[in-house]
Amino acid sequence: MRNKTKLPTMADVANLAGVSSMTVSRALKPDTSVSKSTREKIQKAADELGYVLDTRASEFSSGKSGFVAITIPSINNGNFADTVKAFSDGLAEQDLQVLLGYTNYHVDREEQLVEQLLKKRPEAIVVTGGMHTDRCRLLLENSGIPVIETWDVPEQPIDHVVGFSNLQASELMFEHFIAQGHKKIGFIGGDNSRDSRGRDRYLGFCNTMEKHGLSSERVSFQELAPFSMEPGASGIRSIMKEWPDTEAVMCVSDLIAYGAITECQRMGINVPDDVKIGGFGAYELGQFLNPSITTIDVGAAQIGKFAAEKIIELLSDDGNTKSAKIVKTEPTLIKRQSA
Amino acid sequence: MRNKTKLPTMADVANLAGVSSMTVSRALKPDTSVSKSTREKIQKAADELGYVLDTRASEFSSGKSGFVAITIPSINNGNFADTVKAFSDGLAEQDLQVLLGYTNYHVDREEQLVEQLLKKRPEAIVVTGGMHTDRCRLLLENSGIPVIETWDVPEQPIDHVVGFSNLQASELMFEHFIAQGHKKIGFIGGDNSRDSRGRDRYLGFCNTMEKHGLSSERVSFQELAPFSMEPGASGIRSIMKEWPDTEAVMCVSDLIAYGAITECQRMGINVPDDVKIGGFGAYELGQFLNPSITTIDVGAAQIGKFAAEKIIELLSDDGNTKSAKIVKTEPTLIKRQSA
DNA sequence: TTGAAAGCGTTACCAA
DNA sequence: TTGGTAACGCTTTCAA
């Protein structure tokens, strides 16, 4: 019904205003040479018809799509949300829209998503991490547009990178534990096969332990469910049961850390006096909890901001200015009560 | 540089495969009559060229955009995120993409956003709430596509509605307080001028109090900052200072409730023994906190799901089936520890 | 099962 | 400052 009603086109506006559609096209954009009187005439005609520009036609005709694509693992993750927000804010001035897709941490889903997004001819594409299927890599390489991998520093980047080393980031926490004199240190993580960033955080644990001649056996891997603290609780239970003298544990995320902390409280273990618990990600909530959570701030918003800046640079670029292929952000330790 | 490289088109694939571009067009879709051998030939040619369909051209040509638009107040709100998630999940099977915009709770920003979205010719649009600028209303009315207002039940709907009465929803909490024998009941809210849903929750407070012949004076309005518990803390301080015998307070959101609870703990007031605190929104976190938060579940995901179903129905519709204009979801009280 | 021609609504380009 | 004309890459429609 409704959909059958044909919307007015530029030609309709042109007719009503008594000008050519080319003039309408110009009058509807700022900074074009149209006499004031014609412009007003056209504006009036457009308002009268309730005309709204069809950007599909406009973008198709001009060859630009006016948006950039970004894929993130999960929409329910405050960190990725921060990246996306900073990213879209950074692009807003450039009249670039952001098309967002989430992969649920699956590379296959990512491949499917990337193809879908590419079909819409974005002017650039941002993906999370450096782990892709072969076909996905190929699609990105052949896309003819700037590609930015984020949240990681892949060994073989496709094109550009804005990220940090998850390995080095997690080392910050363990060095912090060690600086406080602890030696019996543990780690609670998730399924590493699907999440290379989580894996790198674990590797950071192993590296630091090894460097200081400490054991890296105090580990618990849990099935991570979105927005659940249960894995943290199970993880700390299992670690404290097997190694009751554990002094400090880092969790792969703040939420897991919070789960571990509340479980400690339940078990009568004081955090941080008996055991120190560290998180990862610097979620907003962590500062309000009791105890507040010591964590690693990976600079999620910064990643989005830098990615946006890079894209603006690359798109305005004539191909001359060589922007740095790899931009690294600096994770920092946020010292709070829990560790 | 990269952007100058011309991507292959259907014609290129057609040439390479030795067929017409029309045949390529057909071969690339499922369920079309193309002989198996031709289809394979074309597939091979497409792969060889790294061809990816240009949906801009295809959608422009066919007149369908393949996506629906949705606007929400904030991207950082778990409830709205739930709505969006259920919404996009519901539309995924139909090959409909979701274009998301957020208004920051500003009707002016909403107007701007809606116009921007409409320029892309979505096949339907979903907005949050029933409060719009006049021009925004007009744009929506003239859009020629199904419009769905959500999260509320406006008195004068533009078109379709999937929502609930915030007023009735908040009454659930106060009736719960009263059923427990409480009479000295309060409310902590925010700036009502910008948030009609918050205002309706306050009206629910006034209504219920009046109905039971109770005073509705125990109220504190705070400046609400995103992701801050501080307003809850200030609110409860101010209420307990002026009316120390207050028995139960409902907060306009779970986060505010959590702020109020922690402040009570700081002040040596036991929740729920001394004072009961209720929230609103049923955020995932509320169940893990100590005490866990009694709250109103508004069925955020349900709203997204119903909106998606409605859109599918309306789009496949020939205009015959008259789908109900207004779908109401049922908020429920979730009884937990804090009240 | 395949192909040819005619748009879809806008902008780029050149001319007036 | 304006207008005419030719794309843009695909799908629709009709014909073979």
In sign, the C-alpha dihedral spanning B86, B88, B89, B93 is positive
Third-level CATH fold of B66-164+301-330: Rossmann fold (3.40.50)
> CA torsion A227→A230→A233→A236, rounded to 10°?
-80
State how beta strands A147-150 and A248-251 pair.
unpaired
- Integer Cα distance of A48 and B194 in angstroms: 30
d(CA B24, CA B299): 46
In this structure, of A25-39, A101-115, A311-325, B58-72, the range with the lowest mean pLDDT score is A311-325
Q: Within a 13 Å sphere around the CA of A293, how many CA atoms are in the beta-carbon half?
A: 29
- Predicted confidence band at B299 (pLDDT cuts at 50, 70, 90)? very high
Kindly tell me if the per-residue pLDDT of A5 is higher than 60: no
Is there a contact between B50 and A123 if contact means CB atoms under 8 Å apart? Answer: no
The single-letter DSSP state of residue B229 is: S
Shortest-distance nucleotide from A20 CA to C1':
D3
Both tokens of residue B302? Answer: 């349900």
Beta strands in B133-256 (DSSP E): 147-150, 160-163, 185-189, 219-221, 248-251
Q: Is the CB of A11 under 7 A from strand C?
A: yes
Q: CA A124 to CA B2: how far, in whole Å?
A: 11
In three-state secondary structure terms, A332 is strand
The dihedrals phi and psi of A210, each to the nearest 5 degrees, come to -60, -45
Nucleotides of C under 7 A from a protein CB: 1-5, 7-13
Domain B10-54 has CATH 3.40.640.10: no
Q: Say whether residue B3 is in contact with chain A using an 8 A CB cutoff.
A: yes
Name residues 166-205 of chain A within 8 A of B (Cβ). none
Q: What is the mean pLDDT of chain B?
A: 90
Helix axes A10-17, A36-49, angle to 10 degrees: 120
C-alpha to C-alpha distances, B155 to A131, B83, B166, B260, B306, nearest whole angstrom: 51, 22, 13, 33, 20
Higher model confidence: residue A188 or residue A290?
A188
Q: Say which residue the tokens 């009503």 belong to.
A: A16
Mean pLDDT of B90-106: 87
What integer pLDDT is reported at residue B318 of this predicted model?
A: 56
What average pLDDT does chain A have? 90
Under the banding of pLDDT at 50, 70 and 90, the label for residue B5 is low
Mean pLDDT score, A12-37: 89
CB of B34 nearer than 7 A to strand C: yes
Q: Which residues 214 to 273 of B reach strand C, CB within 7 A?
A: none
* pLDDT at B241 (0 to 100): 96
B121 touches strand C (CB under 7 A): no
Dihedral of CA atoms B175, B181, B186, B192 in degrees, nearest 10, equals: 0
pLDDT surpasses 60 at A320: no
CATH 3.40.50.2300 fits A166-297, yes or no: yes
pLDDT tens digits for range A105-164: 899 999 999 998 999 899 999 999 999 999 999 999 989 899 999 999 999 999 999 999
CATH 1.10.260.40 in chain B, residues? 10-54
Distance CA B289, CA A258 (A): 10
In which residue ranges of chain A is CATH 3.40.50.2300 found? 66-164+301-330, 166-297
CB < 7 A from strand D, the residues are A 19-20, 22-23, 26, 33-35, 37-38, 60-61, 63; B 6-7, 9-11, 21-22, 25, 28-29, 53-54, 57-58, 60-62
With CB atoms and an 8 Å threshold, state whether A145 touches B75. Answer: no
Q: Across B66-174, where does the E strand assignment appear?
A: 67-72, 97-102, 125-128, 147-150, 160-163
Judged against a pLDDT cut of 90, whether residue A77 lies above it is answered with no
Most confident of the following: A176-180, B58-62, B73-77: A176-180
Instruction: In whole angstroms, give the CA distance from residue B141 to residue B119.
Output: 14
Helix, strand, or coil here: A248?
A: strand
